[in-house]
């Protein structure tokens, strides 16, 4: 027929079906012994790794312990050296103390020995210098105290303590003014506590005057209360 369209219906496409990929078939033809060997090798590798790790840990621990021991030994040696130094210093200190004790004892003995020692050279020099011109000191007799023997003290309250006595004999070619001599000695001789006239005399134109000079602590080598150095 002319002018007539014939409509044909195309079959609708079928819904998408899931795509399937076929896997390549595999067949394990290896015998079980091979698989066992592989497992054993893997196990041995793990054991070896663990053994190496254990060795490293043990070695590290040993090294650390050794280091600690060395540090402790060094610290102990340093402490022992310090202790020896302290002992040496203490020994030096003890020796110094002993020396100081000996020095102190020596000084004490010296003070005891000089506590009653009169400077006789100085005192007799002052006696000679105090005598008037033309007069000579003829004889001297000294009586002094010792550390163990006290000197006899005067019984008169106004007289001071005495530590020694000098019996001096003076001579001159002219009559002696005993009063002037006593005054000069009392004034110029340091330590002269009292000067007393014993007697006077004359023999063949030679005049004599015998005196006693009592000496007090001012004539000591080491004055009372002082320390000799």
Task: Determine the pLDDT at residue 155.
Answer: 73
For 39, the token pair is: 């497992």
Measured distance CA(107)–CA(206) in Å, rounded? 49
Distances, alpha carbon 226 to alpha carbons 115, 220, 229, in Å: 10, 11, 10
Task: Determine the pLDDT at residue 76.
Answer: 82
Using CA of residue 117, residue 119, residue 121, residue 124, what is the dihedral sign? negative
Helix and strand numbers (H, E) in the chain are: 3, 4
Measured distance CA(117)–CA(164) in Å, rounded? 10
Task: Determine the pLDDT at residue 83.
Answer: 84
Task: Determine the pLDDT at residue 48.
Answer: 83
pTM higher than the cut 0.85: no
For 168, the token pair is: 């001096």
Task: Determine the pLDDT at residue 61.
Answer: 82
List pLDDT tens digits, range 14-58. Answer: 555 555 555 556 655 666 776 677 777 778 788 888 888 888 888
Task: Determine which helix (DSSP H) or strand (DSSP E) holds 137, and give its type and residue range.
Answer: strand 135-144
**Interior/surface letters 6-19, b for 16+ CB within 10 angstroms, e for the rest:** eeeeeeeeeeeeee
Smallest Cα–Cα separation from 128: which of 120, 136, 139? 136
| 164-172 β-sheet, strand order | 135-144, 164-172, 206-215, 192-203
Q: Is 44 left (phi over 0), alpha (psi -120 to 50) or beta?
A: alpha
For 205, the token pair is: 């134109």
Residues in the chain with pLDDT < 70? 1-31, 34-35, 93, 95-116, 146-148, 157-158, 222-229
Question: On the CB side of 195, how many CA atoms lie within 13 Å of its CA?
Answer: 22
Task: Determine the pLDDT at residue 227.
Answer: 45
Task: Determine the pLDDT at residue 22.
Answer: 55
Beta bridge partners of 151: none
């Amino acid at each position: 027929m002319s002018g007539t369209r014939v409509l044909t219906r195309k079959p609708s496409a079928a819904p998408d079906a899931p795509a399937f990929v076929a896997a390549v078939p595999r067949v394990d033809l290896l015998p079980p012994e091979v698989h066992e060997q592989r497992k054993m090798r893997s196990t041995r590798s793990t054991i070896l790794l663990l053994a190496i790790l254990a060795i490293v840990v043990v070695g590290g621990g040993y090294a650390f312990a050794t280091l600690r021991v060395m540090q402790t030994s060094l610290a102990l040696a340093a402490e022992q050296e310090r202790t020896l130094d302290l002992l040496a210093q203490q020994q030096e200190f003890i020796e110094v103390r002993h020396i100081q004790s000996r020095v102190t004892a020596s000084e004490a003995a010296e003070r005891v020995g000089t506590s009653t020692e009169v400077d006789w050279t100085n005192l007799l020099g002052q006696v000679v210098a105090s005598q008037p011109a033309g007069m000579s000191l003829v004889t001297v007799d000294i009586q002094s105290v010792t550390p163990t023997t006290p000197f006899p003290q005067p019984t008169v309250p106004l007289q001071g303590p005495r530590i020694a006595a000098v019996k001096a004999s003076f001579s001159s070619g002219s009559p002696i003014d005993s009063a002037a001599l006593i005054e000069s000695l009392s004034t110029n001789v340091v330590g002269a506590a009292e000067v007393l006239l014993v007697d006077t005399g004359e023999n063949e134109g030679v005049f004599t005057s015998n005196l006693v000079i009592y000496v007090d602590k001012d004539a000591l080598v080491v004055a009372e209360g002082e320390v000799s150095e």
